[in-house]
Structure 1
């Protein structure tokens, strides 16, 4: 037996040594390995000549067909002792079951292959889809991402029992009308194609997945699809050497495991009329084996394609392919005929038995290298989960982000700045539903959405056209669902007309989600009769190369400055859009929306912790619903809405599921969202002195007991002010009727302040409130007592110092520039009640459900506007404000507040007195009390609100986090204080800290 093994090994060595040149790096599976060699030799010795031929044949397998088909496939493989199966459409569980069944019935384990250029999702549902190679071709200087893609794909393939990936394509696509390669190529630059293909190939092969670079000798310059006809390549040998063959040479010398031969007619390489390259000894043996020295596995392209069957029937084509030098025939349709004709060729001397034996032995060594010498069935448990690791979600995002290409950026409009000057409409072309792009854009500012398709009625088009006149910026996202040139890339004539019309306004930023070559269909020649309707008239053009959720979301994030752009065109589209075009765009620090793993946090662990804590709160009726949002390093990594607006409909509000964009009453979070930022800005401007006295800015207080109170003491709640005053109680007579000049049931000029639908306050009554504050007694001792009273006065101070109404001042200087459009007082003016979460049923004062009006009674009597309560908004918009605090007063390139002032307001002011407060801000207690997360650092700060709201910011580099929790815990009554008993808000924040500490395990 030892002699036999030596003989068989010698066969392969002789076969590999007959080439004029050899690969610089022999494929790993052929490098000396005693274990795999012994297995291959021993299996080979058991095979009959017919079975050795069978090892060179792969048939097609589908896991989405009926049992009768599977039975026939099993019979075909078992009867002919075939070497492998190429899997096509289906699903992972179904394919795994079919693979296990086939393997169990095969004496020699099968080599399972797939055409998975952009991941298993190219063929299977419920699996990872990576970007197309053309998209990856736009990435500059980060080929390690492609290596990682190959490595991850290899792990997924191996988990699914797949051993060969017919990838990467190394075709240089220099024909825009190429119907079959096109987006499957890395581009038209042979050097870039080579670099990227090499990285991708190495990632797969380093993780024990056999590859097959394709389509030899180069399928990039043809206008014919070899699936349907035999393409003709009319280039000279010199041209082929210079371009098409370059990547193949480089990857072969780098140790490529396999090469796939295309069905092409190339007279410069083989003058035989209508002979496809797969059947050409000149191309397969003389060029690939002898001249290029390739020693790995040579696979045919699918033998059912018209490029080969048009002139050579099945069976005959297979035999000629083996005669030409092929190692493995893929997708053989007539297996018995193929085997019979190959045997006949051997008998007639056209193929030697020795060469067949050597090829069989090479296949067996490949099988041993991928582990089939120790074959184990595929484990079905957790298969889908294992095939969709979160690391690939992150990798997909990074690949997409790195590929985004900006082709025009007139006056550096991107990234968008000064959001307060923009009236933005998004116009989705060829989508009749709200798109992922539109949804992401809405995270950054107020964006109104419109949708146009080729089926939109002209009357509606006219209405939209008229509406768009009200906007000074149009975000035009073009959604093309076909990527092939034969279908004009999915571009309808009416669609092109829409785009042309919109760019002609001079207000459009256009993002084209589709094949890059479609730009030629949107670019008119210089001598066109309508040059103004050219896509070049767009203010900016973003090219994401394809239509996916990732490209949509990340393109919107690019436009708003959360991420940058560095991609460059991998191909020339026309004279305007050429190879290498692409402008650098730098991010400006707006929130990025991503997944926890991007910042090193285990998303599953974080979600489990938060879900558990919140669901306990909802189950115990601590609050009917809430929204939780978390960001680290300026990246939003957790956003989730829980529960419902109410428990039931008994009070008039339906238990509508809570949504991310719902508005909540912020309660005392209003203090750090209105009064405090206003005061910080005034301090920066030298208009407000923290060490000044109350009477300095409230002259009417000069003769009061508060005249000499220092603002620093006031803002840290140690100025002896009373905690609160129940203002509404003073409007009642002993018999519970309203006192004169207090409330009426109908609005009038004298009673204009709307407290409820049927309760209106006397126009001058707010002065009474201010007088009550002025006249209120002081506490006897100077110690920490949390008080609302001074915050009620800040709107007056701001107006006196700036000349602006408090709300206008806040919106002009903070909310609008931040893109925090929902931060507002009295939200009923702008939003439907469906988006506003109800708070308490007020059974004592207002006798109604408080819904869309401020919960706090005092603020309600101030027309809903105060410095201590009354602000409404979404979690996302509040986070923009507090993120600005974390960024030391800066956001999106704009300095709202100086870093020095932020630091002053957020530090402990009087720790020596045991006072934990900053200036307006809450800070962690010196010993843990639950007012802040247990792990909160001394640099952290935030605030809570009576209605169940909370925000926390920790700029410590170890955490660098912002956190928002919004709920309506006072529904239906403020007497429900379970949220505090459970410590839900700070415990959820603590889960965030723990997730950061834990990292990715």
Structure 2
């Protein structure tokens, strides 16, 4: 055929390009003349061959009538394929198996799953939209996405994905491509699309580049009308066609043609789907594409308007398409194509060549050896931990920081900041806000899209009291379209906040929308997350506090505010990230199933009413769950932010933290004695015992003294001047309502310790004595009260807001302990369980600390990190190593300085930890049912918080079941071997 001037121009431009690497052929073409294809061709009638070119829409959620319609088309018309839309995986597989059984030739199954099965099927994963993927700087991650999407689609019995979108979205007002594009940079689009395609095709899933020759620069949706693109050939060739040419070179199997009117390529005004100059002339002849050419859906108004069903399908075949997607009237289409053959508008040989191409695809995907797809375990096999982890990695990698004045991100100086968060566009607490509060104490506010002027003014006044305002701008629509619903009052508040130096904005919308918000570019911190999902909200919050970093680049320009390619690198990893076990090389299934099983058993056996368990590895929190109820007699379920009485874990969370700090400051000497710090001990039998012995529990101290018993007379009444029913200056220590202890009684406790006899033999005997005295030792070397010293030096800068003595929280946030029938004669709820600690005003170095697992983990992770957390050094690594190693390794004393260590029996088995815990590991347990353990060799942190003493301390089932250490071992079993 003669070529038009347009294509001669294109050809001339192409031959003058530098030599390129040899193109990769579409992978299925090698089968077009195979024995299997030959054998199938011999069985097909002329009309059945035409039917192979037709793919109809199928749904797995439309019931029996639709099922019968599809079966009729298969049985009577012998269609070649199905494209599945809405439904669920199990139903789809069952239907596809039935349809395949009914079909003479195996059916080619397709789906339009640009961002994974979640685009079409319920209860499956939706990966980030392509615009978010366009921000990612690691193409290998796109390849990995492709292989995973291929695995999932093949698992549901399908073979062809109508993806990726390779349109260059250079029109912000594009209503149909937009966020479905990798962006406006043709090179970026080509790289990302090619990586994604290669992953899918390496997973034996055929793909189609769409929407040829480029749907990016239009403001019309081809679902509803025919868009027109008026660019000249030179522009189309250099921009719109560039990614298509690149992905064709890379060996993509298919191309989908769009419904577009492009006068420069076809002056007749017909949709590109029906244009022979565009499909045959440009795509096949000029670009040399020999793969599968597919129409966009043939029910869209961009092609149906003014065209008769059936006839329009025939015209699409005449134009050069191989496969008709979403044919509406199949018998009419077959009839019209047969008529065109008879009229010699197209030859049977040309039809046969296209049929062979379809059959070759079927052989390439394995349909020549078709087997039904198993439905058993399909949901578990689709939503694997690895697939879920990939989704999170993609969300993290897409995060794009556009502003970071004065290194506002990650937030530092938590102890000096009053922080507020605002979620714009919602009245409910968001996942973004819930994640933010994992890092620091934050006051949350919400403002709806149509907030009144009074609501806006009230919030504006409230925010004046905060040093840092972190805002999330939300969309909460299924798709991040280029729309903005916030009213003018809300927009003005955003502008005002952005003008201040203390503002950080996380943008969970289409980046184009930034151009519709005046002044947001002035904010100190601005990050774009591209869409509004739980994953993007969580990772954005983690970025703000340094749990993760960011290196995304903006894939599109935003007016004059930001340009494509903008994006600042922010390093993370200074605080916890919250993720899945696979992120730390651990197995989700092992962790969740076995820990759940052990906890369920413990609760069934009444070993504890409930628990919090937190596991972190490599500073990643990969398991954090709450189990059960506060007690056996109520229905208050344990929440992850409820606080527990830590009992003896107080020792390593208060006393040891303070003493290690003083040790570094030269204010505490391990060779020193109690007498060096407490003058009243200078003439005691404990005056010359060094702290090395005291902290390893071999100082010959008595294990404990039941101080509370000394308040009673022999007749059971209280001694004179011990308690009063009302608080006063002389009776300030609250034991319970109506019971206040004399102010001097703590001194009596110290005197009792001082005057107590020493044990005869120097050996390991666990004792609380020194840790009761520790606050006085600390206060003797500082100008601060013990709690104040700890808050100032540790808890406040760590953002450990729930850690402290005498909690001031509603009781429903505090897990109760024992019903005390001996001393307080009431259930213990909201105050310390230990009698000695309550007699010390709830503040002691041996017991009395409360915390939730997440905040306690910050302190313990700092220990595990060698003294550093959140970009701040709290202690020196040498100090931690000194205090956490076995102090007297050649003796039978296994303890470190204040910390517990693995305790081995004669067979070399640990009696108090997981069997696989390293000798370098350290931790502590608590009487109320607590265990915390750190292992520097595996960078593993384990926290088990429970209230096994509820309702009585006589319940030892937690010990007999060995629940805590059994769970500890599960963590090591879950570590994947590298």
TM-score range, shorter chain: over 0.9
**Does 2:531 align with 1:546?**
yes
Q: Could you report, residue by residue, the CA deviation over 1:670-720 in whole angstroms, capped at 9, with x for unpaired residues? A: 000000000000011111101112211111211111111111111111111
Alpha-carbon distance, 1:536 to partner: 2.0
Aligned to 1:51: 48
Question: Kindly tell me: are residues 375 and 484 of structure 1, through their superposed partners in 2, closer, same or farther at Cα, counting changes over 3 Å?
Answer: closer
**Does 2:860 align with 1:896?**
no
Task: Please list, as runs of the form range in 1=range in 2, the aligned pairs for 1:512-661 lying within 5 A after superposition.
Answer: 512-522=507-517, 524=518, 534-648=519-633, 654-661=634-641
Which deviates more, 840-849 or 447-456? 447-456
Q: 1:60 aligns with which of 54, 57, 60?
A: 57
Aligned to 1:12: none
Alpha-carbon distance, 1:76 to partner: 2.5
Alpha-carbon distance, 1:616 to partner: 2.0
Given that 1:588 and 1:893 are in contact with CA atoms closer than 8 Å, whether structure 2 keeps it comes out as no
Q: The residue matched to 2:471 in structure 1 has which SS?
A: strand
Alpha-carbon distance, 1:135 to partner: 0.3
- Whole-Å Cα distance in 2 between the matches of residues 151 and 451 of structure 1? 40
Aligned to 2:329: 334
Given that 1:933 and 1:989 are in contact with CA atoms closer than 8 Å, whether structure 2 keeps it comes out as yes
Aligned to 1:249: 245
Q: 1:730 aligns with which of 710, 720, 730?
A: 710
- Whole-Å Cα distance in 1 between the matches of residues 587 and 59 of structure 2? 36
Alpha-carbon distance, 1:424 to partner: 1.3
Q: 1:969 aligns with which of 918, 941, 948?
A: 948
Question: Kindly tell me: are residues 588 and 893 of structure 1, through their superposed partners in 2, closer, same or farther at Cα, counting changes over 3 Å?
Answer: farther
Task: Please list, as runs of the form range in 1=range in 2, the aligned pairs for 1:308-457 lying within 5 A after superposition.
Answer: 308-456=303-451
**Does 2:928 align with 1:947?**
yes
Aligned to 1:743: 723
Q: 1:781 aligns with which of 752, 761, 768?
A: 761
Given that 1:430 and 1:478 are in contact with CA atoms closer than 8 Å, whether structure 2 keeps it comes out as yes
Aligned to 1:6: none
Task: Please list, as runs of the form range in 1=range in 2, the aligned pairs for 1:201-350 lying within 5 A after superposition.
Answer: 201-272=197-268, 274-350=269-345
Given that 2:89 and 2:378 are in contact with CA atoms closer than 8 Å, whether structure 1 keeps it comes out as yes
Q: 2:106 aligns with which of 84, 101, 109?
A: 109
Question: Kindly tell me: are residues 678 and 486 of structure 1, through their superposed partners in 2, closer, same or farther at Cα, counting changes over 3 Å?
Answer: closer
- Whole-Å Cα distance in 1 between the matches of residues 343 and 597 of structure 2? 74
Q: The residue matched to 1:510 in structure 2 has which SS?
A: strand
Given that 1:482 and 1:490 are in contact with CA atoms closer than 8 Å, whether structure 2 keeps it comes out as no
Given that 1:593 and 1:637 are in contact with CA atoms closer than 8 Å, whether structure 2 keeps it comes out as yes
Given that 2:914 and 2:966 are in contact with CA atoms closer than 8 Å, whether structure 1 keeps it comes out as yes
Alpha-carbon distance, 1:930 to partner: 2.4
Q: 2:163 aligns with which of 141, 144, 167?
A: 167
- Whole-Å Cα distance in 2 between the matches of residues 973 and 53 of structure 1? 79
- Whole-Å Cα distance in 2 between the matches of residues 381 and 611 of structure 1? 23
Alpha-carbon distance, 1:486 to partner: 7.1
Question: Kindly tell me: are residues 193 and 491 of structure 1, through their superposed partners in 2, closer, same or farther at Cα, counting changes over 3 Å?
Answer: farther
Which deviates more, 333-342 or 175-184? 333-342
- Whole-Å Cα distance in 2 between the matches of residues 347 and 451 of structure 1? 68
Question: Kindly tell me: are residues 487 and 407 of structure 1, through their superposed partners in 2, closer, same or farther at Cα, counting changes over 3 Å?
Answer: closer
Alpha-carbon distance, 1:838 to partner: 0.5
Alpha-carbon distance, 1:75 to partner: 1.3
Aligned to 1:690: 670
Alpha-carbon distance, 1:589 to partner: 2.1
- Whole-Å Cα distance in 2 between the matches of residues 229 and 33 of structure 1? 37
Task: Please list, as runs of the form range in 1=range in 2, the aligned pairs for 1:494-509 lying within 5 A after superposition.
Answer: 495-509=490-504
- Whole-Å Cα distance in 1 between the matches of residues 59 and 635 of structure 2? 47
Aligned to 1:651: none
Given that 2:173 and 2:482 are in contact with CA atoms closer than 8 Å, whether structure 1 keeps it comes out as no
Alpha-carbon distance, 1:608 to partner: 1.9
Q: 2:842 aligns with which of 847, 856, 864?
A: 864
Aligned to 2:884: 906
Alpha-carbon distance, 1:62 to partner: 1.6
Q: Could you report, residue by residue, the CA deviation over 1:365-384 in whole angstroms, capped at 9, with x for unpaired residues? A: 11111111112222221122
Alpha-carbon distance, 1:506 to partner: 3.9
Q: The residue matched to 2:934 in structure 1 has which SS?
A: strand
RMSD: 1.7
Alpha-carbon distance, 1:932 to partner: 2.3
- Whole-Å Cα distance in 2 between the matches of residues 79 and 390 of structure 1? 43
Q: Which runs of 5+ in 1 are unaligned?
A: 1-19, 525-533, 649-653
- Whole-Å Cα distance in 2 between the matches of residues 630 and 701 of structure 1? 42
Calculate the TM-score normalised by the size of structure 2.
Answer: 0.96
Question: Kindly tell me: are residues 462 and 930 of structure 1, through their superposed partners in 2, closer, same or farther at Cα, counting changes over 3 Å?
Answer: farther
Task: Please list, as runs of the form range in 1=range in 2, the aligned pairs for 1:18-167 lying within 5 A after superposition.
Answer: 24-31=23-30, 37-140=34-137, 142-167=138-163
Question: Kindly tell me: are residues 483 and 515 of structure 1, through their superposed partners in 2, closer, same or farther at Cα, counting changes over 3 Å?
Answer: farther
Alpha-carbon distance, 1:337 to partner: 2.0
- Whole-Å Cα distance in 1 between the matches of residues 593 and 335 of structure 2? 61
Alpha-carbon distance, 1:469 to partner: 2.3
Given that 1:23 and 1:252 are in contact with CA atoms closer than 8 Å, whether structure 2 keeps it comes out as no
- Whole-Å Cα distance in 1 between the matches of residues 577 and 45 of structure 2? 62
Q: The residue matched to 1:448 in structure 2 has which SS?
A: strand
Question: Kindly tell me: are residues 501 and 64 of structure 1, through their superposed partners in 2, closer, same or farther at Cα, counting changes over 3 Å?
Answer: farther
Question: Kindly tell me: are residues 637 and 487 of structure 1, through their superposed partners in 2, closer, same or farther at Cα, counting changes over 3 Å?
Answer: closer
Aligned to 2:465: 470
Q: The residue matched to 2:689 in structure 1 has which SS?
A: coil
Which deviates more, 630-639 or 975-984? 975-984
Aligned to 1:804: 784
Aligned to 2:972: 993
- Whole-Å Cα distance in 2 between the matches of residues 674 and 486 of structure 1? 51
Q: Could you report, residue by residue, the CA deviation over 1:884-912 in whole angstroms, capped at 9, with x for unpaired residues? A: 00000111111101111101100111122
- Whole-Å Cα distance in 1 between the matches of residues 417 and 457 of structure 2? 23
Alpha-carbon distance, 1:314 to partner: 1.9
Given that 1:566 and 1:582 are in contact with CA atoms closer than 8 Å, whether structure 2 keeps it comes out as yes
Alpha-carbon distance, 1:391 to partner: 1.1
- Whole-Å Cα distance in 1 between the matches of residues 493 and 581 of structure 2? 39
Q: Could you report, residue by residue, the CA deviation over 1:307-337 in whole angstroms, capped at 9, with x for unpaired residues? A: 1112322222111111111111111112222
Q: The residue matched to 1:26 in structure 2 has which SS?
A: coil
Alpha-carbon distance, 1:797 to partner: 1.6
Q: 1:851 aligns with which of 801, 817, 829?
A: 829
Aligned to 2:18: none
Q: Could you report, residue by residue, the CA deviation over 1:903-956 in whole angstroms, capped at 9, with x for unpaired residues? A: 110011112221111110001113245222222211111001111111000001
Task: Please list, as runs of the form range in 1=range in 2, the aligned pairs for 1:760-839 lying within 5 A after superposition.
Answer: 760-827=740-807, 829=808, 831-839=809-817
Which deviates more, 477-486 or 371-380? 477-486
Q: The residue matched to 1:313 in structure 2 has which SS?
A: coil
Alpha-carbon distance, 1:464 to partner: 3.2
- Whole-Å Cα distance in 2 between the matches of residues 284 and 656 of structure 1? 66
- Whole-Å Cα distance in 2 between the matches of residues 277 and 481 of structure 1? 35
Alpha-carbon distance, 1:450 to partner: 1.4
Alpha-carbon distance, 1:33 to partner: 8.2
Q: 2:895 aligns with which of 913, 917, 920?
A: 917
Q: Which runs of 5+ in 2 are unaligned?
A: 1-13, 16-20
Aligned to 2:919: 938
Alpha-carbon distance, 1:32 to partner: 5.1
Q: The residue matched to 1:547 in structure 2 has which SS?
A: coil
